[in-house]
Amino acid sequence: MSTTPAGTPRPHDPARPGTPEDPSDVVVVRDLHKSFGDVEVLKGIDLTIRRGEVVCVIGPSGSGKSTLLRCVNLLEEPTRGSVLIEGEDITDPDCDIDEVRSRLGMVFQQFNLFPHLTALQNCVLAQTNVLRRGKAEAEKVAQHNLERVGLGGRGDAHPAQLSGGQQQRVAIARALSMNPDLMLFDEPTSALDPELVGDVLSVMRLLAKEGMTMMVVTHEMAFARDVADRVIFMDGGVIVEEGEPSRVIGAPEHERTRAFLQRVLDPTHVDPGAEDRKYAERHRTNVDGIVPADISGPA
């Protein structure tokens, strides 16, 4: 995989493998930009995810990871660029985005379960409303997926009766019940007590073994190292480094990647204030390329 220094968007290469004509491509992102006001969060992202591939996106807070993920199912409207899902450009105004989303499963940081519905009912609702499945069929599918995530006996429980980890597994079962072609995970364990993380990650490992195409924004380095086919490190709105986990996590090429991993893997040995200074440096320019007064602080 080719890489570029932090802060330098990679040019789009039309000859690069992974064109919309390739049936193995589930996601193709081209020259993706996203701004919120004067702040450019994504600065020209090119990315291809192939069928059956598990791609983990890592990086510091504010690097654009979650924004990229949300652009993939158009929860955020890109400022410029395109996103193709199984060959269909979802940024095209004529695209039926609801139909495309019916083929995507999304698992958020928060569980987003309906509190007045049981676990089973939470997994049934979208099936009957979106896929138009009959109630009996939808309940059968929901029960099967609750069993897949280890909650086959908790279908009658309401979210308040479940632990955080169990609620997140219900959210995964709900997404799986739509028979998605692609699963998107936005830091699915970040809101969980450390003791509850393992069960959720075990379910995700199982999905990976079953061949599910997955894009995972995560801070769980062990999961990324052991499960991902490819790891992407983002910082400052660009892809700094990508490749096999053994290289990106085990032997990163870029100093920024090494500094991030050191902070994550050895958090007690840090330079106080370094994170604030680095954040300021990464966001020194606005969308017009204007550099504000010096905000980087001491070197």
Asked if residue 279 is part of any domain, the answer here is no
Residue with the larger pLDDT of the pair 292 and 263: 263
Residue with the larger pLDDT of the pair 269 and 89: 89
The neighbouring-strand residues paired with 107 are 185
The neighbouring-strand residues paired with 233 are 58, 241
Element housing 157 (H / E): none
Per-residue pLDDT reduced to its tens digit, 225-239:
999 999 999 999 999
As given in the structure block, the two tokens for residue 150 are 């280890």
Per-residue pLDDT reduced to its tens digit, 161-179:
999 999 999 999 999 999 9
User: Helix (H, G, I), strand (E, B), or coil: what is residue 290?
Assistant: coil
% of the chain surpassing 90 pLDDT: 74
Determine how many CB atoms are found less than 10 A away from the CB of residue 289: 7
Angstrom distance (rounded) from CA 297 to CA 292: 13
Determine how many CB atoms are found less than 10 A away from the CB of residue 287: 15
Asked if residue 283 is part of any domain, the answer here is no
Confidence of residue 264 (pLDDT cuts 50, 70, 90): confident
User: In which domain, by residue range, is 220 found?
Assistant: 25-270
Query: Residue written as tokens 């069929």?
Result: 137
Q: What is the mean pLDDT of residues 265-288?
A: 63
In the prediction, which pLDDT does 5 show? Answer: 38
In the prediction, which pLDDT does 174 show? Answer: 96
Cα 248 to its chain centre, rounded Å, is 17
Q: What is the mean pLDDT of residues 93-99?
A: 93
In the prediction, which pLDDT does 22 show? Answer: 77
Q: Nearest-CA neighbor of 58 among 293, 235, 275?
A: 235
In the prediction, which pLDDT does 194 show? Answer: 83
- Please give the tally of structural domains in the chain: 1
Q: Nearest-CA neighbor of 117 among 150, 147, 160?
A: 160
In the prediction, which pLDDT does 276 show? Answer: 67
CATH of the domain at 182: 3.40.50.300
In the prediction, which pLDDT does 281 show? Answer: 67
Query: Residue written as tokens 């709105």?
Result: 237
Asked whether residue 13 carries a pLDDT value surpassing 80, the answer given is no
Angstrom distance (rounded) from CA 49 to CA 251: 23
Confidence of residue 191 (pLDDT cuts 50, 70, 90): confident
Asked if residue 126 is part of any domain, the answer here is yes
In the prediction, which pLDDT does 196 show? Answer: 84
As given in the structure block, the two tokens for residue 197 are 């993380």
Q: Nearest-CA neighbor of 48 among 107, 100, 2?
A: 2
Asked if residue 160 is part of any domain, the answer here is yes
Asked if residue 299 is part of any domain, the answer here is no
Residue with the larger pLDDT of the pair 21 and 125: 125
Q: What is the mean pLDDT of residues 245-273?
A: 84
Per-residue pLDDT reduced to its tens digit, 51-60:
999 999 999 9
DSSP annotation of 195? G
Q: What is the mean pLDDT of residues 124-135?
A: 95
Determine how many CB atoms are found less than 10 A away from the CB of residue 18: 15
Sequence-distant (≥ 6) Cβ neighbours of residue 5 within 8 angstroms: 240, 254
Sequence-distant (≥ 6) Cβ neighbours of residue 131 within 8 angstroms: 102, 138, 178
Asked whether residue 61 carries a pLDDT value surpassing 80, the answer given is yes
Asked whether residue 283 carries a pLDDT value surpassing 70, the answer given is no
Asked if residue 282 is part of any domain, the answer here is no
Confidence of residue 148 (pLDDT cuts 50, 70, 90): very high
In the prediction, which pLDDT does 297 show? Answer: 39
DSSP annotation of 235? E
Within the chain, residue ranges assigned H as helices are 65-72, 97-101, 119-129, 135-148, 164-176, 197-209, 221-227, 245-248, 255-265, 274-282
pTM, two decimals, is 0.82
